[in-house]
Structure 1
Amino acid sequence: MRSRAYRALTLVAAGTLVAACTSVGSSKASPVQVGLVYSRSGLLAAYGKQYEVGFRAGLDYATHGTNEIEGHPIQVTEHDDAGDPATAVAATRTLIGKGFKIIAGTTDSGVALQMAPLAAQNKVLYISGPAATDAVTSGNPYTFRSGRQVYQDVRAAETLLGDVASKKITVLAQDSVFGRANLAAVRAILGDKGAHVVSVLAPLSVADLTPFARQTKATRPDVVFVAWSGTTTAGLWTALKQQGVPRASKVVTALSGTASYPIFAPADANVVFFAHYFPGATGDNAVERAMLDGITNAGGTPDLFSVDGFTAAQMIVHAVSSGSSTDTAAMAKALEGWTFNGPKGREHIRARDHALLQPMFTARLRGRGSAAKPELVSSIPMMAVAPPENMPEG
């Protein structure tokens, strides 16, 4: 009798153990699926690579090296959008069809503007990457951003210009969503301070940029605001120097990735730089050090948009651990109002419109050619460049 009872209890205990193991196993078998849609090819492929290596380092940091969130492994599926909105939308629809609830990435502003409404329609969490146009997060409950936006760029540039009243500012930009967003922001911010703003817009496909450098000089500006990205950057600055634009006018532009430093250096005294980020910008910041070490130890090179990928990973881990890997409303709620330490310093996700409030920087370049290195001039507090809460949705 006692023997039978003992055997029964043993079977029950064994069954409980199997059930527990099965539960753990099922947890492991139900990963957090993340779709990473970004430019592996195309005009912005170099930026896409910076984003991707930063994202991997961010996952390692935010999960303390486990690549798991509360026992659930993170599985990342990558798609190349090639900087093309239709390609990005097709890839994202495929991911959504497979049950993905979290999509991150996008280097191109035109792509991001197509991804955001897709996220809203399908109720998936979308965290935009380096795409900077202001309209990405406007009025969308499921879309966030892990990088800066154009408004923050222009407010940072404003700190370098002093009184712009009655000055003529020529915006030299690509005729793209990103370029037109910069033009609109310069008109809104600097035009409101009394500047007369005109523009020279170049098609993305143009290789010979000399005519556009000439047009810019012909406007006789006091200030040239250059908003440019991608593989034609070297050609643009060669054309500007050949046409004597930096000698004739003050030029303000974003400090781009490390590959651009030899293009700028030695920088003309009339060329001044605002910066979203550059490696070492924050000085003494443990999160930035972790990002730099993580990327370097993995064989990569920290760069301009490493922070966007790293921050996206931080946001995803927080959203899932504080919300749910399948309930996108809960994930969005977890992100809204979140203040955290990122690679750039203290950052805050504004609940009302999902703007990512963050510090910006100004910098100078020291050295020549391949030895050129950026040096911090000033760090601009996040509230000093915070976008207004009534940013236009278009």
Structure 2
Amino acid sequence: MKKLLPILIAAAFAPALASAADLKIALIAGKTGALEPYAKETETGFLMGLEYLTGGKMEINGRKLKVIVKDDQSKPDMGRTLLAEAYGDDKVDIAVGTSSSGSAIAMLPVAAEYKKVLVVEPAVADAITGDKWNRYVFRTARSSMQDAMAAATIAPSGSYGFLAQDYAFGRDAVKAAKEALVAVKSKAKVVHEEYAPQATTDFTASAQRLFDALKDKPQPRVLTIVWAGPSPMNKLADMKPERYGIVLAPGGNILPVMKTWKNFAGTEGTIYYYYAFPKNKMNDWLVAEHTKRYKAPPDMFTAGGFAAASAVVTALTKAGSGDTEKLIAAMEGMDFDTPKGKMTFRKADHQALQPMYHFRIKKDQKSEWDLLELVREIPASEIPLPVKNKR
């Protein structure tokens, strides 16, 4: 019996040891609800990123990767609950999420409570790496201010009105846009802000208030649309803003939305990612493989999911384990390759510094997805992102 005892003990602990050998990653996304297309792209990009970066082995330093996907339905309460479940019950080493800024903000204190790293992707609200930030939070997604700073570089003068969704993403974006115009010393003036519920389908009243505010202001008169999900741009165009000398300016969106913009050839804007813009081996693989598998090129949130995967793999490899303090030490100031090129986690607030793109809607679109032409890549060095957190 004495001889058997060590064997029995080893057998009893074998499942626990095997489980501990896995590196566990939680991916939380709004797979149900208005942001479902974003969540689907994020998940696809994240898994493709892990595949590419591990050479198809799905392991790091000999340890298998296990991805646990959870749907928070873009609801803050659910996002908070699912992250606590991932850290507490699933014992994940690191978590990634989520689609909604509201849900992401609700998740931040949970990362601090459990003392575990959370990589935010693709939520953009400035508060995530601003006043709601804590040391366990890193963001691969661009922030509202990065969006705004990029857009401000192509807005030298004129009068601007904003139509945005009435929640964290929309209000943050407009606030950031106003700050960005000041930061780049633009002569452009914001003359009106209009906020509408996310479920709005009739934009008549909002549009008329914007038209009235802009119509007598100095040219160019620009109505900027900040909208997650199906864009209201075509509905606004049907109200003929050109009667008042007003032009519409869309922010970059997902490919199915931008497909509906053919009538706006020549219109310019800025975007986080468009599959044909970056020139590097990682993006070449993503475009070719995604097109092969899904019969369409990767979208902006696909690239975002891939970037998050790269951050996770680079961090786990560099840290040598899933230990939180080792991960934080590895990630602060860390460079990592993405389909957009190199990103860097700024040590001050853990925001990924990254390039953006100035686009023009193509006049001659040769295929279903031949939508944009590149005016210029805006390097991270030209986006002087302010630090807004408190360490």
TM-score range, shorter chain: 0.7 to 0.9
**1:71-82 to 2 correspondence within 5 Å?**
71-82=62-73
Residue from 281, 287, 299 that aligns with 1:286? 281
How many residues are treated as equivalent by the alignment? 367
Give the structure 2 partner of residue 238 of structure 1.
234
CA distance in 1, matches of 2:95, 2:242: 41
Residue from 309, 312, 324 that aligns with 2:308? 312
CA distance in 1, matches of 2:194, 2:357: 26
CA distance in 1, matches of 2:316, 2:341: 22
Give the structure 1 partner of residue 3 of structure 2.
none
Matched, 1:147 2:141: yes
CA distance in 2, matches of 1:308, 1:68: 21
Amino acid at match of 1:384: E
Residue from 68, 72, 86 that aligns with 2:59? 68
CA distance in 1, matches of 2:167, 2:268: 24
CA distance in 1, matches of 2:19, 2:75: 35
Matched, 1:178 2:169: yes
Give the structure 2 partner of residue 265 of structure 1.
262
1:274-310 CA-partner distances (Å, limit 9, x unpaired) = 110011211x311111222343344374111111100
Amino acid at match of 1:127: V
1:24-53 CA-partner distances (Å, limit 9, x unpaired) = x94676211111100111111111111111
Matched, 1:373 2:367: no
Q: Residue 250 of structure 2: SS of its match in structure 1?
A: strand
**8 Å CA contact 1:357, 1:386 repeated in 2:** no
CA spacing shift, 1:51–1:382, aligned 2, 3 Å: same
Q: Residue 379 of structure 1: SS of its match in structure 2?
A: strand
CA spacing shift, 1:49–1:300, aligned 2, 3 Å: farther
Amino acid at match of 2:239: Q
Residue from 332, 335, 340 that aligns with 2:328? 332
CA distance in 2, matches of 1:383, 1:191: 17
CA distance in 1, matches of 2:360, 2:212: 27
**1:321-360 to 2 correspondence within 5 Å?**
321-360=317-356
CA distance in 2, matches of 1:324, 1:120: 22
* Same amino acid, percent of matched pairs: 29
CA distance in 2, matches of 1:255, 1:327: 37
CA distance in 2, matches of 1:115, 1:238: 35
Structure 1 residues not aligned, in runs of 5+: 1-14
**1:372-391 to 2 correspondence within 5 Å?**
372-389=370-387, 391=388
1:178-235 CA-partner distances (Å, limit 9, x unpaired) = 101111112212256454322000011222223222222121162222111113x1xx
When the two chains are superposed, the root-mean-square deviation of aligned CA atoms in Å is 2.6
CA distance in 2, matches of 1:47, 1:371: 18
**8 Å CA contact 1:175, 1:202 repeated in 2:** yes
Give the structure 2 partner of residue 200 of structure 1.
194
Matched, 1:216 2:210: yes
**8 Å CA contact 1:69, 1:320 repeated in 2:** yes
CA distance in 2, matches of 1:125, 1:246: 49
CA distance in 2, matches of 1:334, 1:149: 22
CA distance in 1, matches of 2:295, 2:98: 20
1:217-266 CA-partner distances (Å, limit 9, x unpaired) = 121162222111113x1xx1122111122562233332211101232112
CA spacing shift, 1:125–1:266, aligned 2, 3 Å: same
Based on CA coordinates, which of the two structures has the bigger radius of gyration?
Answer: 1
Give the structure 1 partner of residue 250 of structure 2.
253
CA distance in 2, matches of 1:28, 1:123: 21
CA spacing shift, 1:246–1:352, aligned 2, 3 Å: farther
Amino acid at match of 2:111: A
CA distance in 2, matches of 1:117, 1:386: 28
**8 Å CA contact 1:27, 1:72 repeated in 2:** no
CA distance in 2, matches of 1:246, 1:90: 48
**Which deviates more, 131-140 or 82-91?**
131-140
Matched, 1:169 2:160: yes
Q: Residue 100 of structure 1: SS of its match in structure 2?
A: coil
CA spacing shift, 1:195–1:371, aligned 2, 3 Å: closer
CA spacing shift, 1:264–1:57, aligned 2, 3 Å: same
Q: Residue 294 of structure 2: SS of its match in structure 1?
A: coil
Q: Residue 51 of structure 1: SS of its match in structure 2?
A: helix
CA distance in 2, matches of 1:201, 1:142: 32
**8 Å CA contact 1:28, 1:72 repeated in 2:** no
Matched, 1:45 2:42: no
